[in-house]
Amino acid sequence: MTKQEAIDFVRMFIDESGVEFVGTLVDAQSDVKRALQEASYDKVREWWARGDKEALRPFWKQETYTGASPYSFASYAVQPMFIETVQVRVGSDVRYPAKQTTLELWTQWQAANPLMGARVGSAEYAYKEGQIFFVGDGIVVSYYLKPDIDWTNLALELFNPPYVATSGAAWTHAQICERAAQILMSRQPLDEDRVPLGVIYDIERLMSQQAERGAA
């Protein structure tokens, strides 16, 4: 789904009686764009919580770093939204999957007995905004990028590079559009005629909701 298609799709959802109430603003698409951006973050967090890595696949990224701790991400744009795994390198070939520990524990542990050279175990790491602390000769960090939509070219796919563009999980785009429409609808005064928007394209969730309601 291209960005323009996504905008049109959202407008189709929120369109009642042919009147597009967000279309009357100065930049007709700005509200829809903001809602789509908000919805992307929302859905990515939801997929992460559900462990849906197939949906998250377009945002996957990996960095290999050789050097001393800490590793600093190159810029804010490539900082992780979620870290999947960190492997600590020892020497050139050996890698250990590392467990995350809290920053508090990390700093206290380091300072426990500096004279004895007390260190945190090698297969552990701590994350500070934009930095990864570890003990070893380097790391391989695999993580998921923040889903920031670049609106410069509306004819391109919703998420174009640095995200996986050619084979991105296109089936998730409708879910994002639907969530965006739900966000826009929720700004309107509360009334009774709200449709069950928000789970239509997420059929697994739709089915579990139907089952909870005891329907069919």
Q: Which of the stretches 26-34, 54-62, 68-76, 148-156 binds another protein when contact is defined by CB under 8 A?
A: 54-62
Q: Is the peptide bond before 189 cis (omega within 30 degrees of 0)?
A: no
Number of Cα atoms under 13 Å in the Cβ half of residue 131: 7
Q: Does 76 bind another protein (CB under 8 A)?
A: no
How big is the site for another protein, counted in residues (CB under 8 A)?
A: 47
Residue 174: CB minimum distance to another protein, A: 4
Helix (H, G, I), strand (E, B) or coil at 179: helix
Residue 110: CB minimum distance to another protein, A: 25
Nearer to another protein, 51 or 114 (CB): 51
Please give the Cα distance from 132 to 178 (Å, whole number). Answer: 35
Residue with tokens 């004895």: 116
Please give the Cα distance from 110 to 18 (Å, whole number). Answer: 64
Residue 173: CB minimum distance to another protein, A: 8
Please give the Cα distance from 2 to 7 (Å, whole number). Answer: 9
Q: Does 101 bind another protein (CB under 8 A)?
A: no
Residue 32: CB minimum distance to another protein, A: 14
In the chain, what are the helix, strand and coil shares in percent, each to the nearest 5?
40, 20, 40
Q: Does 46 bind another protein (CB under 8 A)?
A: no
Residues that bind another protein (CB under 8 A): 1, 5, 8-9, 12-18, 53-54, 56-57, 60-62, 84-85, 87, 97, 142, 164, 166-167, 170-171, 173-174, 178, 181, 192-197, 200-204, 207, 210, 215-216
